[in-house]
Chains A and B, each alone.
Chain A
């Protein structure tokens, strides 16, 4: 469970320190605001400390000695009112500023992280689960909120508060101050013990709620099955056990909660009793003033809140550090970063593609392509034929430089593809993948993506070219038809047509089609066939073929087996040759004939 990792994580002290320093660096642009909020914090503390002092002044200088001075009372009352007003205003502003800083920093980190992830190569996405990436950008960033908005500044505020109270106490009465500060370590120890236990329990409780949630979700989805198999009792018992475990932690939370704060109140009362007892002797001799006692009683009560907050700093720092570590793991990963700035910019390529003795693997020493060489001339249609796993799709991945090759060279228009600007290169090569991905939005936005230079007319033209216009125009909202849940309201064939239209709308020099034929009704199948023929006319076209009948007219057919090129040539040439291709083709024909 990721959540509980936070506590037992064995990040070394040094690493933790360097992480915190890295995090603190994000404060830099907001230094003036930060300083302002610390200044406000100090002033808030002053207002808190001054309030009992004002009343002490009234008590000792007027009430205890019996001087009636209504105008002084009014005057002091107004000062008190001013202090309250300023204190309230400052608290509001301080919270606002701190939240602003926190949100801004989280905004910065989140964007930095997202931009970084966008620029990662496909390799990164192959290796990192989408759930993990999602958590980095969402929950992990949110977990930093505590540090940036509040905890650090507030702990400064709290420390100043405690020091402030102690100084004020000493300046009023040294002996009473000494008695009072004895309670600080006791309160601190109790608070820390409570915090630790409560935190542990809280994590457990959260995990249990998660498990109950999961259990219910699973069992409601599987309720039909449980009913059919008549396992209600077994399932109920399982649930009861889980619920009981939750009850136990819930009760523990209650007990912990009902102990800590009340115990501290008892300690406060004890301290107060001690103060009174000590001063009773002195008052009787006429040294101590009642107002002083009043102030002390109030100050003693003010100890708990800051100590409690400071105790919280450690735990929130700890969980923030865990999240920070994960975030920086991604941000520090530079090797998988693609450089979008580098390379020769290109407007338009001709579409000549050449592979020269290309060797490639995804995992070390498991060669996927072995010494592959071929040349595709501009405007040609080339088909790749071979089994699943033979390396067809890999060739396409390499053309668009989703991966870099280990040996050999890939040339486009006679230039090594590493020389080109990556983004420019990819804009020239449109790949229509077998598993079509549709974004939420409408059909327009799925064809155009976020490319503003593609007009509505371009979209219509593209749709027409790939024979998708008929089905799109039959939809109630046509091109503005909403695409829901990754396009599951469309059939596989329709999704394929939309992705064809997307490829065509970008006017690439090279179009790559990963032909998908499963689960398509005949009507769409015919549309797709025609679309492929239309597309092939304008540009260099590469087809990964699953059905041989569709590629008979290709200018060149490349047969790949186990990462090597077995045969190359036109349909006629290969048939004449009588090799693998002919075998494949005849087998297919044979079945058609039987049927």
Chain B
């Protein structure tokens, strides 16, 4: 779906609001452009010493017109601009719902910051195009057509031509000026960002700076950035300060013509004094739309560029089997109860059972030339635990990614309970797997929310038990607000190990039939690791487990251990079997045991007795 299509659908959906808005806008513009004429009449009536009652009648019409314009203007703004405000939110929700369906590859290839910018800045640019860009054109066209028509027909064509003489120059110059301003403004922002970076780096490295007594040199360096900030700003002001004076000057020329030539027209009797005053007001009235032409052009250009960028995302294909959430196109019609109901329905799914089988699997990441997995054959019996060891980049995580169907594989390569993974509904597959990722990503909300993971259907006991199993219960209780403690920037900072353990609790609470731990014990010390592994034994009873690790200690009790290197399985078996082989596994074991001891010898006096074998 393209942005244009979405916009068109949106407009069609709200066509009545648009029609009413446009009609009111035209009426408003019409009234606005009649007011100077009215003032002209009043002037003439005064000049011709008409009776007071006639003047009062005109005055009532004048005030009525002003009040009417006010009401009509408010109405069209509410409908047209209000719709744009809503369009902004609608587009953003639509985009987010779409992003939720996009495959992992999309996120591998796009920076988070860019995506956020699309959802905020680009969508706001589109809103502006449809808000100001659209209404300013409509308003400007109507006001200026009516005004100029009145000026030409009822006042004087030659005078009108004189007044309009400078307009092409104004439009051209202001347009150029705007582009210059934009360029220079970007430079100002850049200079500011550089100051920010400079200070940030300086503070982070302050110990080095102080240790090497580089303070004065740092100040000197800072002055350069500070000066650039001043210089770029002054460069900006040199052009931006010209905008209004220049506009006023250009229209001043119109007024000068008007004084010189128009005055003669009055004294010669060609136009009345009222016309003269009305004309003067018209020059002011047509000025505003003409000045805004350059702004409208700029807004349209930026809106189009933004629409192009958004198009790219909207045209990305969603993951197989995933469907974008339907975004209610009317904010007034939303009912939370309906949503709640549909949410509850989504909690039910059929749990996956059975052995996991991988048959002769080769896999290459999209956009890469190198195979990440080569000829993998693997069978994990239901209820058993598989340990995966290997160096970074050997393909351990890839196996987990494929089991979660974050990337697509050919049919017939991965089977769960004898069903091809490609034919298992995505929902059933992912709901059945408890996954603990490598990067301990927690959302900045309460710990409880992180464990329940935004589905508040668990009892307190369940949350407590899961965190006990993950060995993080005591840690959580030591925080000021326990489970209600907010994590992240605005709250408590958790250590790497604590985050890992919360992630484990998050996976356990789902009671999944398959549990995957992707190097999830790296940041906890050996003692805690042992405790968690003991708990996991209990958790894994009756479940299939996959433990990916760097440390031998994490996997030594697994029913089956595979050792991976460069995308292949090079050794497989139980701990004792692998030790006897005296291969890669054995060597890793030896080096890790040694490191462990060095660490304890120098760093701590207490040694974990379990390791003294």
Interface residues, chain A, CB within 8 Å of chain B?
54-55, 58-59, 62-64, 66-70, 73-74, 76-78, 80-81, 84-85, 87-89, 91-92, 95-96, 99-100, 103-104, 106-107, 110-111, 114-115, 117-119, 122, 125, 130, 133-134, 137-138, 142, 209, 212-214, 216-240, 243-244, 246-247, 250-251, 254-255, 258-259, 262-263, 265-266, 269-270, 272-273, 276-277, 279-281, 283-284, 290, 293-294, 297, 340, 387-388, 400, 402, 422-424, 426-427, 429-431, 433, 437, 439-440, 449-451, 486, 502, 506, 545-548, 584, 587-588, 590-592, 594-595
Residues of A with C-beta under 8 A to B59: 273, 276-277
Residues of A with C-beta under 8 A to B203: 117, 125, 130, 133-134
Partner of A547, one of B92, B248, B598: B598
Q: Does B454 lie within 8 Å of A234, measured CB to CB?
A: yes
**Residue-wise interface mask of B (307-351) relative to A, using a CB-CB cutoff of 8 A (1 in contact, 0 not):** 000000000000100100100000100100001001100100000
Instruction: Contacts A142-B192, A216-B120, A244-B89 given; indicate if A111 touches B214 (C-beta within 8 A).
Output: no
B546 in the interface (beta carbon within 8 A): no
Q: How many angstroms between the C-alpha atoms of A75 and B57 in the bound complex? A: 38
Q: How many angstroms between the C-alpha atoms of A566 and B88 in the bound complex? A: 69
Q: How many angstroms between the C-alpha atoms of A346 and B280 in the bound complex? A: 79
User: Smallest Cβ distance from B384 to chain A, in angstroms?
Assistant: 22
B205 in the interface (beta carbon within 8 A): yes
Q: Does B200 lie within 8 Å of A449, measured CB to CB?
A: no
Q: Does B100 lie within 8 Å of A227, measured CB to CB?
A: yes
User: Smallest Cβ distance from B82 to chain A, in angstroms?
Assistant: 6
Residues of A with C-beta under 8 A to B252: 80-81, 84-85, 88
Partner of B43, one of A133, A290, A547: A290
Q: How many angstroms between the C-alpha atoms of A547 and B55 in the bound complex? A: 102
Q: Does B213 lie within 8 Å of A426, measured CB to CB?
A: yes
B220 in the interface (beta carbon within 8 A): yes
Q: Does A254 lie within 8 Å of B97, measured CB to CB?
A: no
User: Smallest Cβ distance from B168 to chain A, in angstroms?
Assistant: 19
**Residue-wise interface mask of B (202-236) relative to A, using a CB-CB cutoff of 8 A (1 in contact, 0 not):** 11111111111111111111110011011001100
Q: Does A254 lie within 8 Å of B100, measured CB to CB?
A: no
Q: How many angstroms between the C-alpha atoms of A59 and B455 in the bound complex? A: 76
Q: How many angstroms between the C-alpha atoms of A546 and B119 in the bound complex? A: 50
Residues of B with C-beta under 8 A to A138: 192, 195-196, 199
Q: How many angstroms between the C-alpha atoms of A219 and B211 in the bound complex? A: 41
Q: Does A122 lie within 8 Å of B430, measured CB to CB?
A: no
Residues of B with C-beta under 8 A to A272: 62
Instruction: Contacts A114-B219, A254-B77, A269-B62 given; indicate if A230 touches B430 (C-beta within 8 A).
Output: yes
B459 in the interface (beta carbon within 8 A): no
Q: How many angstroms between the C-alpha atoms of A595 and B100 in the bound complex? A: 51
Q: Which one, B147-155, B258-266, B463-471, is touching chain A?
A: B258-266
Residues of A with C-beta under 8 A to B607: 587
Number of A-B contacts (CB under 8 A): 383
Q: Does B226 lie within 8 Å of A110, measured CB to CB?
A: yes
Q: How many angstroms between the C-alpha atoms of A297 and B278 in the bound complex? A: 12
Q: How many angstroms between the C-alpha atoms of A449 and B206 in the bound complex? A: 12
Q: A63-B276, A110-B229, A122-B210 are in contact. List 12 more A-B contacts (CB 8 A).
A: A64-B47, A84-B255, A88-B249, A221-B112, A227-B104, A244-B331, A290-B43, A424-B213, A587-B600, A588-B598, A590-B601, A595-B593
User: Smallest Cβ distance from B590 to chain A, in angstroms?
Assistant: 7
B297 in the interface (beta carbon within 8 A): no
B587 in the interface (beta carbon within 8 A): no
- Interface residue SS majority, chain A: helix
Instruction: Contacts A55-B259, A423-B215 given; indicate if A92 touches B245 (C-beta within 8 A).
Output: yes
Q: Does A276 lie within 8 Å of B42, measured CB to CB?
A: yes
Q: Does A221 lie within 8 Å of B237, measured CB to CB?
A: no
Instruction: Contacts A96-B238, A402-B210, A426-B210 given; indicate if A55 touches B89 (C-beta within 8 A).
Output: no
Residues of B with C-beta under 8 A to A294: 43, 277, 280
Q: How many angstroms between the C-alpha atoms of A521 and B119 in the bound complex? A: 43
Q: Does B406 lie within 8 Å of A62, measured CB to CB?
A: no
Residues of B with C-beta under 8 A to A64: 47, 273
User: Smallest Cβ distance from A271 to chain B, in angstroms?
Assistant: 10
Q: Does A437 lie within 8 Å of B207, measured CB to CB?
A: yes
Residue of B at shortest CB range from A253?
Answer: B85
Q: Does A88 lie within 8 Å of B245, measured CB to CB?
A: yes
Q: How many angstroms between the C-alpha atoms of A426 and B78 in the bound complex? A: 66
B14 in the interface (beta carbon within 8 A): no
Q: How many angstroms between the C-alpha atoms of A279 and B49 in the bound complex? A: 12
Residue of A at shortest CB range from B611?
Answer: A591
Query: 22 A-B residue contacts at CB 8 Å?
Result: A58-B259, A67-B267, A84-B252, A107-B230, A110-B195, A119-B215, A138-B196, A142-B192, A214-B444, A234-B454, A247-B88, A254-B78, A254-B85, A258-B78, A262-B69, A387-B604, A423-B213, A423-B215, A426-B213, A433-B207, A439-B205, A450-B220
User: Smallest Cβ distance from A75 to chain B, in angstroms?
Assistant: 9
Residues of B with C-beta under 8 A to A254: 77-78, 81-82, 85
Q: Which one, B373-381, B433-441, B564-572, is touching chain A?
A: B433-441
Q: Does B107 lie within 8 Å of A224, measured CB to CB?
A: yes
Q: How many angstroms between the C-alpha atoms of A441 and B506 in the bound complex? A: 42
Partner of A62, one of B101, B267, B597: B267
Q: Which of A115, A236, A294, A426 has most B Cβ within 10 Å? A: A236
Residues of B with C-beta under 8 A to A134: 196, 199-200, 203
Q: Does B597 lie within 8 Å of A595, measured CB to CB?
A: yes
B302 in the interface (beta carbon within 8 A): no
Q: Does B46 lie within 8 Å of A451, measured CB to CB?
A: no
Residues of A with C-beta under 8 A to B479: none
Residues of A with C-beta under 8 A to B246: 88
Partner of B49, one of A239, A284, A546: A284
Residues of B with C-beta under 8 A to A437: 204-205, 207-208
B172 in the interface (beta carbon within 8 A): no
Q: How many angstroms between the C-alpha atoms of A55 and B256 in the bound complex? A: 10
Q: Does B263 lie within 8 Å of A58, measured CB to CB?
A: yes
Instruction: Contacts A122-B207, A280-B55, A451-B214 given; indicate if A62 touches B259 (C-beta within 8 A).
Output: no
Residues of A with C-beta under 8 A to B161: none
B63 in the interface (beta carbon within 8 A): yes
User: Smallest Cβ distance from A489 to chain B, in angstroms?
Assistant: 16
User: Smallest Cβ distance from A517 to chain B, in angstroms?
Assistant: 8
User: Smallest Cβ distance from B276 to chain A, in angstroms?
Assistant: 7
User: Smallest Cβ distance from A428 to chain B, in angstroms?
Assistant: 9
Q: How many angstroms between the C-alpha atoms of A117 and B412 in the bound complex? A: 64
Residues of B with C-beta under 8 A to A439: 201, 205, 208
Q: How many angstroms between the C-alpha atoms of A240 and B607 in the bound complex? A: 53
**Residue-wise interface mask of B (25-50) relative to A, using a CB-CB cutoff of 8 A (1 in contact, 0 not):** 00000000001000100110011010
Instruction: Contacts A122-B207, A231-B455, A254-B77 given; indicate if A548 touches B115 (C-beta within 8 A).
Output: no
Q: How many angstroms between the C-alpha atoms of A232 and B577 in the bound complex? A: 44
Q: How many angstroms between the C-alpha atoms of A572 and B200 in the bound complex? A: 48
User: Smallest Cβ distance from B390 to chain A, in angstroms?
Assistant: 18
Instruction: Contacts A235-B100, A259-B74, A595-B593 given; indicate if A228 touches B430 (C-beta within 8 A).
Output: yes
Residues of B with C-beta under 8 A to A431: 211
Instruction: Contacts A247-B86, A255-B78 given; indicate if A92 touches B242 (C-beta within 8 A).
Output: yes
User: Smallest Cβ distance from A184 to chain B, in angstroms?
Assistant: 19
Residues of A with C-beta under 8 A to B115: 216, 220
Q: Does A84 lie within 8 Å of B196, measured CB to CB?
A: no
Q: Does B601 lie within 8 Å of A591, measured CB to CB?
A: yes
Q: How many angstroms between the C-alpha atoms of A231 and B445 in the bound complex? A: 15
Q: How many angstroms between the C-alpha atoms of A76 and B100 in the bound complex? A: 69
Partner of B100, one of A226, A258, A591: A226
Instruction: Contacts A77-B260, A107-B227, A450-B218 given; indicate if A224 touches B104 (C-beta within 8 A).
Output: yes
Residue of A at shortest CB range from B193?
Answer: A138
B368 in the interface (beta carbon within 8 A): no
Residues of B with C-beta under 8 A to A595: 590, 593-594, 597
Q: Does B215 lie within 8 Å of A290, measured CB to CB?
A: no
Residues of B with C-beta under 8 A to A427: 212-213
Residues of B with C-beta under 8 A to A99: 233-234, 237, 241
Q: How many angstroms between the C-alpha atoms of A91 and B127 in the bound complex? A: 33
Q: How many angstroms between the C-alpha atoms of A433 and B100 in the bound complex? A: 44
